[in-house]
Structure 1
């Protein structure tokens, strides 16, 4: 019966994820494409929208609360209380996420979806009388399926049990758990595909790599690329800490949200790549990066992660995985602009190393990147993830496990 419940959960996750992303995409297109053209808005309209969004987000934070919760907060609440509150909470998480994402925040949808899933799992557990252990497993199954669907990464759904076995002392794989995760993920992808068939959309979360031309220089540059990726991941974490401390000093929700909105609008005036999570922008960036200077790509990468962390700390709450991958790709393209030898391989190594340092989960990161780059690069991606995870664990003196 639990297997049947898991399959149904996966299907529901796919349907909910697809519907949520479709709604956010439609609202974003309305606000950022249709409205400016229809009303012939001035060229500085991104600043206007950023300030309006800042005021709305600030008022939402004051009168409703800090929503949506992050994935980490959702898991901590679940472990502490054996539940995720869903009565009068699901609507707040949903509305908070739609508001932030529609106004172009450099954040992803995974945080809101994790909150919604947590409430759904708690509701199911209340009605089916699951034990806490089963409830926790049910939630992890749902989050795995959600990551697989929104990142177009089927292996992300089974990465959690693989990560647990890799970081455990026994290294004994529990095949029943792996099959259960795979089943949930498969039904999640089916549900997501059903929504896509109803509302077709452009290809997202893709990088276009030209025909792979292996060069010996690329192997010599693999170590420098790995170090660049690790350093960029450390910079992301440093900016995260800086943004949190800065927000603690100001402690005025409305002012914080408006400042974040002003920064968002100002950077969007420089480049539209600063808007949104980056899932839709990876493909055009990969097609046009050769027409950009390495300096601009470096500015884009650093500006993106600064905007993401500052926005989150200042009340524009959401997920950080999509922006981290986009920024890692930007820094990778800057690197290969200077050293154009098998650019896809070097970019993949930089993205893999940087995201692993941020998430502190090698297998999860590798699974998210599986279909983003050509399969020929996957062994290098996997190796870069493991090396970066070891470095991160050694540098922080902390265990490598961390919920995404």
Structure 2
């Protein structure tokens, strides 16, 4: 009966090629532009970071990552970002705690301040990544330019192209964008086939990823010791335990998020909340060390260079302090995303599992720790699975990740997310 019913249902009509071809040029332009903006902001932030954290302390005769310098720099970063939020037109965009990867279309006057606040944050050391504000800027620019240059195309096309392009640029591959798009489309009534709907965004993501690869040569492979074996029952058990435990740790920050945000909101003015947040981040850095600063990708690579170089307790401190720093930075008003610092927390958690139980392979520990942490913090299943997989580049680990994602997802689904509504209540 079910088979007969399926046969009687009309097939979803596919879009003709002539409807898709006009999307290619706009998608290519958005993809290249989104990538160049991401690379430009990242490079500018890295150069400023080099000045602030190397040249300046060396010239002053102060230790680069001394407690004093970390306190000074993070508090000063709160002051300058607070000035941008207070005085620059547009106030650096909406409240960052209310934003996810799906950005609203912001008016052009808001975008310079948001870019400036993001670059200063990346250079100054708070534990946030560039993804959310860069997506928001690219969406705003693409919509503004696209609706003027390509008037015949629907306005709703441009945010989809810009979001896909930015994700492709961030990860250096269009695969992540394809997964995010398919997840976003899952609950919608599609007009046409899935690949018709993702055609334009995939062109944009591919162009952005290729541009980023050619210009910046990014890599996510941590070069951990190769898994190099067929998964055993012990590996499966480890994966099924580590991922949910990492997700549970991440949920601690998720549940604390509205309360931490409420504390900083009661401080009122950005010139109070952001410097106080910077000072708290400096104190956390003094506790956890310099590896708990910045967005976390370079620091994860440093951890991975010597998986056996720290004790389980040291890895636990790194994970907890970095998660607390992510919570504070996201709560006090710094403009930034949560994916990259969450990767550091998950990796430190997984390496701690390896240090505690040496039979847990470090690649498996890192991948499952990152998977669980990202599921809790982002609630993006495909992005979490993809990111965990590319960090270790092992097909054998990928099979284990698919199983490990199930209990971790059961732990987080239906619960509050690390994103707030305008009234301060968590999104579910």
Shorter-chain TM range is 0.7 to 0.9
Evaluate the alpha carbon distance shift between residue 360 and residue 379 of structure 1 in structure 2; reply closer, same or farther with a 3 A threshold.
same
- Match among 318, 328, 332 for residue 300 of structure 1: 318
Runs of 5+ unmatched residues, structure 1: 198-202
Q: Which residue of 2 aligns with 1:278?
A: 296
Report if the CA contact (8 A) 2:83-2:271 is conserved: yes
Report if the CA contact (8 A) 1:84-1:122 is conserved: no
Report if the CA contact (8 A) 1:157-1:182 is conserved: yes
Which of the two has higher C-alpha Rg?
Answer: 2
Report if the CA contact (8 A) 2:111-2:137 is conserved: yes
1:174 correspondence with 2:194: yes
Q: CA deviation at 1:215?
A: 5.1
Aligned residues: 387
Q: Which residue of 1 aligns with 2:366?
A: 347
In the TM superposition, 1:75-114 aligns within 5 A as 78=104, 83-86=105-108, 88-114=109-135
- Match among 45, 49, 60 for residue 73 of structure 2: 49
Q: Which has the higher contact order (CA 8 A, sep 6+)?
A: 1
Q: Which residue of 1 aligns with 2:243?
A: 226
Q: Which residue of 1 aligns with 2:92?
A: 67
- Match among 351, 357, 377 for residue 376 of structure 2: 357
Q: CA deviation at 1:9?
A: 0.9
- Match among 310, 314, 320 for residue 332 of structure 2: 314
- More displaced, 349-358 or 24-33? 349-358
In the TM superposition, 1:1-400 aligns within 5 A as 1-41=22-62, 43=66, 44-64=68-88, 66-67=91-92, 69=94, 70=96, 73=99, 78=104, 83-86=105-108, 88-128=109-149, 130=151, 134-164=154-184, 166-167=186-187, 174-196=194-216, 205-212=220-227, 213=229, 214=231, 216-270=233-287, 271-340=289-358, 341-376=360-395, 377-395=397-415
- More displaced, 38-47 or 274-283? 38-47
CA distance in 2, matches of 1:233, 1:353: 8
SS in 2 for 1:316: coil
CA distance in 2, matches of 1:173, 1:354: 33
SS in 2 for 1:318: coil
Q: Once superposed, what is the RMSD of the aligned Cα atoms?
A: 2.8
Q: CA deviation at 1:117?
A: 0.7
Q: CA deviation at 1:196?
A: 2.2
CA distance in 1, matches of 2:261, 2:98: 15
CA distance in 1, matches of 2:406, 2:168: 21
Report if the CA contact (8 A) 1:352-1:385 is conserved: yes
